A = this chain, B = another copy of it.
């Protein structure tokens, strides 16, 4: 157990640090990457910054994350929960977790997966059990208007079961979940930022979803892996129905969208379409695949699609073979080096940047030139590449400060590298004096996603940078085999990056966004009219029988439920409807029935219901589980199940 303060600089040289890192995350890393490493070590890396900067613990930076008691954060962060299956709301710079929003996975506090309302969102099997109780969220992004977040919605993916969930940002709740047909391994997700055609639609109306795994289409047991394919999907932001899909070559990893609404893109790490990892990394170059949204929707409108299996969703052909003619192409495959990971849109609206993963490079693609290719103005779509520059080992994701700088995580080097995009373009053009690397900062350890405050909006403000470190190793007290991950916060307001704080998080946040607190207007009390079954007056309470079906109507008003007891008969199918008549913010009640596997909460003015069979006779004290009042412990009602 390492108990002393860890000196983050440690005076270790670069090789020493790499050796330390390699003991954990890189065992058995195969030939491709090792080759990169040797290449990088063997020759002087392209214009380097000062040697790996010691993470200067400048007072203003390091203390900036520390709020005084009662002081509020200035930014919200929406964090994906990984295989914990939720979305998390953090306050920044403090890093405090303010809320977990259940989406794909049940939540015993809220009663998510217990109440009829949440089961309807999550989806059930014919026997009434939840269809799924696991999830794997990776990426979360919010709705846009005029290039900035508008505080309406956020979306989040479930990779395991190819589901997309929508979060309402007024109530911070999940209100819809859609399963994508014929998709396995749904990974990247990004809303559009405006309509590609209609200038009046200056806000998000579509969400794009990348399918990572290639499978038989339809997936009915075929085993010939040369016929496996992946789909790129478009979901309607309002109805949450799948509008269309695109059949592609290769796979989809992350997704990005242009500010003008015209392009979406996904980086492809497996253009080889290999089924084993050695095959997936056999090619020297993979791709960033662009989608011409307007053309795809024209093709759908013109009936140029097929459907797959029992799905009714139109599927257009986006394969290379079918899209050779630029002037009619729906898709464009821009070449990028080996197994790229991450594609991000710069806030100046000009570029998409693909990070290399197994190549030590970032590739800068100019969007105007991709559009030029679609317009037939140049022949080779790779001419849209305006820079391909070395950054360090294992580049994964990139964030922006709105001042022309990009920040890329280097997984293998456990660093963040700050680099200037214009200088990188100049260097790529031939100006070898262009020192595009501005700064490097060691992080702890093996960083994946990175994002800056307002990064992929036109309001990128270059204040905070968060880095999702996959390994925390010695940064927190040991708690057994399962370590927390480490979301580090960095001050990027100056020339040098300054490490501010380590924030441990439960596995496994991948992506996140950070935005100014005034962009959302949360509501804190429900409206009784939100639920058609709301019991608006406690006098409506009672037990209503219809054969074996019994409806129990009840209200809560601290410190009592409107029914002090209620009787049902063994074997009844009971639907209990509870409306919380308390109107005061934060005055939430819970409702638990012992041995009946029932617990849920009702927020102020909220209504929820549960349905169960009263299969055990006896007396069951239903009690308030959410502290509400000095007489909270005494807030109970009795369910008497007569034998």
B98 touches A220 (CB 8 A): no
Q: Which residues of the other chain, B, contact A477 by a CB distance below 8 angstroms? A: 72-73, 76, 91, 98, 517
| CB closest chain-B residue, reference A517 | B477
A contact residues, total (Cβ < 8 Å): 176
A525 touches B481 (CB 8 A): yes
Is A407 part of the binding interface, using a Cβ–Cβ cutoff of 8 Å?
A: no
| CB closest chain-B residue, reference A498 | B69
Residues 119 to 178 of chain A near chain B (Cβ within 8 Å): 129, 131-136, 159-162, 170-173
Q: Which residues of the other chain, B, contact A595 by a CB distance below 8 angstroms? A: 161, 184
A591-629 vs B, Cβ < 8 Å mask (1 yes, 0 no): 011110111010110100000000001111101011111
A68 to B: closest C-beta gap in Å: 6
A548 to B: closest C-beta gap in Å: 17
Q: Which residues of the other chain, B, contact A33 by a CB distance below 8 angstroms? A: 630-631
| CB closest chain-B residue, reference A270 | B634
A617 touches B221 (CB 8 A): yes
| A277-B559 contact, Cβ under 8 Å, with A83-B108, A109-B82, A625-B83 | yes
| CB closest chain-B residue, reference A7 | B70
B134 touches A592 (CB 8 A): yes
Is A305 part of the binding interface, using a Cβ–Cβ cutoff of 8 Å?
A: no
| A585-B480 contact, Cβ under 8 Å, with A69-B501, A82-B625, A85-B108 | no
B6 touches A72 (CB 8 A): yes
A599 touches B275 (CB 8 A): no
| A618-B484 contact, Cβ under 8 Å, with A57-B69, A91-B477, A633-B269 | no
Is A472 part of the binding interface, using a Cβ–Cβ cutoff of 8 Å?
A: yes
8 Å CB contact of A618 from B134, B215, B476, B617: B215
Q: Which residues of the other chain, B, contact A104 by a CB distance below 8 angstroms? A: 108
8 Å CB contact of A277 from B172, B277, B631: B631
Is A89 part of the binding interface, using a Cβ–Cβ cutoff of 8 Å?
A: yes
Given the complex of chains A and B, what is the CA–CA distance between A425 and B64 in angstroms?
Answer: 46
Given the complex of chains A and B, what is the CA–CA distance between A562 and B506 in angstroms?
Answer: 27
A379 to B: closest C-beta gap in Å: 33
Q: Which residues of the other chain, B, contact A170 by a CB distance below 8 angstroms? A: 480
Is A584 part of the binding interface, using a Cβ–Cβ cutoff of 8 Å?
A: yes
Residues 442 to 465 of chain A near chain B (Cβ within 8 Å): 444, 446, 448
| CB closest chain-B residue, reference A525 | B481
A221 touches B643 (CB 8 A): yes
Given the complex of chains A and B, what is the CA–CA distance between A76 and B98 in angstroms?
Answer: 21
| CB closest chain-B residue, reference A632 | B470
Q: Which residues of the other chain, B, contact A76 by a CB distance below 8 angstroms? A: 477
A71 touches B6 (CB 8 A): yes
B599 touches A221 (CB 8 A): no
A91-106 vs B, Cβ < 8 Å mask (1 yes, 0 no): 1000011111000111
A173 to B: closest C-beta gap in Å: 7
Residues 317 to 341 of chain A near chain B (Cβ within 8 Å): 339, 341
A97 touches B559 (CB 8 A): no
A619 touches B97 (CB 8 A): no
Given the complex of chains A and B, what is the CA–CA distance between A138 and B471 in angstroms?
Answer: 31
Is A28 part of the binding interface, using a Cβ–Cβ cutoff of 8 Å?
A: yes
Is A573 part of the binding interface, using a Cβ–Cβ cutoff of 8 Å?
A: no
B184 touches A28 (CB 8 A): no
Is A539 part of the binding interface, using a Cβ–Cβ cutoff of 8 Å?
A: no
Is A84 part of the binding interface, using a Cβ–Cβ cutoff of 8 Å?
A: yes
Is A300 part of the binding interface, using a Cβ–Cβ cutoff of 8 Å?
A: no
A474-512 vs B, Cβ < 8 Å mask (1 yes, 0 no): 011111111110001000000000011111101110000
| A630-B29 contact, Cβ under 8 Å, with A109-B507, A222-B619, A618-B219 | yes
Q: Which residues of the other chain, B, contact A560 by a CB distance below 8 angstroms? A: 28, 277
Is A522 part of the binding interface, using a Cβ–Cβ cutoff of 8 Å?
A: yes
Q: Which residues of the other chain, B, contact A55 by a CB distance below 8 angstroms? A: 69
A108 touches B105 (CB 8 A): yes
Q: Which residues of the other chain, B, contact A100 by a CB distance below 8 angstroms? A: 506
A504 touches B594 (CB 8 A): no
Q: Which residues of the other chain, B, contact A476 by a CB distance below 8 angstroms? A: 72-73, 91, 96, 98
B110 touches A133 (CB 8 A): no
B223 touches A522 (CB 8 A): no
A275 to B: closest C-beta gap in Å: 7
| CB closest chain-B residue, reference A595 | B161
Is A418 part of the binding interface, using a Cβ–Cβ cutoff of 8 Å?
A: no
8 Å CB contact of A586 from B275, B473, B518, B623: B473
| A559-B483 contact, Cβ under 8 Å, with A98-B504, A108-B83 | no
Q: Which residues of the other chain, B, contact A533 by a CB distance below 8 angstroms? A: none
A496 to B: closest C-beta gap in Å: 15
Is A1 part of the binding interface, using a Cβ–Cβ cutoff of 8 Å?
A: yes
8 Å CB contact of A522 from B1, B24, B603: B1
Is A114 part of the binding interface, using a Cβ–Cβ cutoff of 8 Å?
A: yes
Indicate the member of A480, A508, A557, A628 with the most B CB atoms within 10 Å: A480
Query: Could you jot down 18 A-B contacts, CB within 8 Å?
Result: A3-B72, A6-B70, A27-B584, A28-B629, A29-B631, A73-B477, A83-B590, A100-B506, A134-B599, A159-B625, A161-B595, A412-B630, A481-B526, A481-B585, A481-B588, A481-B603, A481-B604, A483-B586
Pairs of residues from A and B, 7 with the lowest C-beta to C-beta distance, nearest first: A172-B480, A481-B603, A277-B634, A219-B618, A6-B70, A221-B617, A99-B479
